[in-house]
Structure 1
Amino acid sequence: MIPNGSTRLLLPTTVVGSYSVPEWLERLKTEFYQRRISAQHLTEIHEVAIKAAVKDQERAGIDIVSDGELRRDNDIDYFLARIPGVYIAQRAKSDYYDYYEAQVTAPLPEDADKSTLGLATDFEFTRQLTDRPVKFSFTGPFSLSRRIADGAYGEPADLVRALATRLNAEARALADAGATFLQIDEPFLAGYPEQAALAVEAVNIVTDGVPVSWALHVCYGNRYARPSWEGHYDFLFPAVLAARVDQLVLEFARKGLEDLRLIKQYAWPSSLGLGVIDVKSATVETPDLVAARIRRALEYVEPGRLMINPDCGLRHLAPEVARRKLHAMVAGTAIVRSELDRAEPDSPRTGDNHG
């Protein structure tokens, strides 16, 4: 199933989550941690940045937009700072992008407020900015656990499961707020390939009973526009076949398209989010290159099960580069849509349909 209102649109385009963080926003975020601006001031700044990010995506022609994750310093801290039972001794940072040193000294409380991260409020703010479908993403329990010193659980997997239960409550709040397309990001999993089965088990705890379209994004890290690990997606299979998600979002532009073989080899049954833009390079892809990558994927996945996106988030790209890459992605997708329309005259129309 193609998520969130795009069932009549072939090859819908979207983003993975994060959007370019301009230098001025980086500077202001750091000034907040150095107590030079207030939390309220920073909130107002974030809202301005999110409005601009959504508008950039709309102008590029992206079909399913995001808030750019611009309230978040990195892929971890926004969540750990809000989860009851996670202790962070020092919340000052010399640079906004640094990670907190977090720990748990007792099991996470089960009777705490079931919606404490504030993600539903974040979604509602973005929802009122656009008429287009919104994808909302958050970091998954396995990756969150990698940044916590665990002094509470005898079995590390139990911490992962406890985090998953907390995120399930947050996902329910998001669904109640009207979210229909949620994505779980597991950027650390490639560094612990032997833990794939545990990560999938935790994903299923997160998605349990939440009636939305679910995506799972697994990459090789994107820290300062560099991969944290290298390799192939073999480690995900066959474990990921047990994931109760509607879409698997993978990076292919930087790594090459060889791992598409796994989609056919293991008969991945659901949608594929195809990474066609290398977010670790400032070189802007041509529409023809994007189209070529999509055509190759269509040898493995039928058009109705394919969504087009960058490899990962656009956080580390300069704003102008991010905009140009999104425009190229949309233009390349349009080339292939046109080809599919000509090949299948009775296929679903591919006009500007965001309903």
Structure 2
Amino acid sequence: MVGRRRRRRASVVVIVTCWTAATACGPAPSHDAESFPALDVVTEIDGLDHPWDVVAAPDGTLLTGERSGRFAVRRPDGSTGVLAADVSDLVVHDELGLMGIALAPDFAATRTLYTCQTHTTGEVTDIRVQAWTADLDWTVLAPTRVLVTGLPLSVRGRHGGCRLLPHPDGTLLIGTGDATQASAPQDPNSLGGKVLRVDAITGEPATGNPFADSAVYTLGHRNVQGLAIRPDTGDIYSIEQGTHRDDEVNRLIPGANYGWHPDTGDGFYDESVPMTDPDRVPGAIEAVWSSGPATIATASGSFVTGSGWGTWSGALAVGVLKGRQVRFLRLDPAGIRVIAEAIPPELTGTFGRIRTVAAQADGSLLVTTDNGNDDKVLRITPASRR
């Protein structure tokens, strides 16, 4: 049932390790398990079915969206509800449906939010970014404008990407998947397998983009599932799912190519090739972190901050589907190497597949589960040092 709020706490010793490839990991990271805080876990919303994203409004309202197209809220007074919204054009199958949600930076004044979702009208089927306005009582979402259309969609429902990241400079970053189209990641004219950067009001390519009159910000990606801004540097990181190996965290450089090139030349989608392939893509940027010889299915990322996290303040929290965990990565000052990893036991296995992690200004971390059976929105708060 939507709305129950439950608290649980554990304090088992955390695992700190590094599973990255040598090129991404460098020297072995520190094993400072004692420095990682114990965590409090509170269930904010339950009774959900495949919630993809979660956002917190300035008034404290929590909004999440199920892949089927249902929007659910928890208001500051504890009441919950389902928002009325016209999603009659939504396509839902396999990995696709209602996915990314983001609030406009000026949400308090404009009530504007964005979604990334599959769409069909007549003969047009694609993935697109839609702007909405929320009423003051959080009962209705009204569509206002379509910002971006034409993101590729796989008939098998794979690799939809769809992570949204509003930037303080007035732009909107969009992580896209390659839709299993072999040529898309390396094709500058395709919006698939990219990180896009558009004007958050018009949806047009943002001023200062690396390619003239193009929304493409970076290319050579497989399935971008997470985007995050590092607070102390402003650097942007993508979180990407690998094939049978090599999930990745990448530090984004405008115009850079991250090396995914599954096209054999005849249109065949070859998933046996490396995620980052400098032999086929000269100058391809190596990942900051890689899962190595096995995938854990990284699905999101967000940088936690606040004194409660101790030495882990500023670390990147990564939501993990197949590995059923939240993994914390502490980066070096340059942001190009992982120096420590933590896998807190409170978030390992107990809640199943973790889709989204979203750090909050108060130091907490919102989390959505993705099991399809009584899924939840959780709030994670550092409780104490072990």
TM-score, reference length from structure 1: 0.31
Larger helix fraction of residues:
1
TM-score, reference length from structure 2: 0.29
Relative contact order, higher structure (CA 8 A, sep 6+): 1
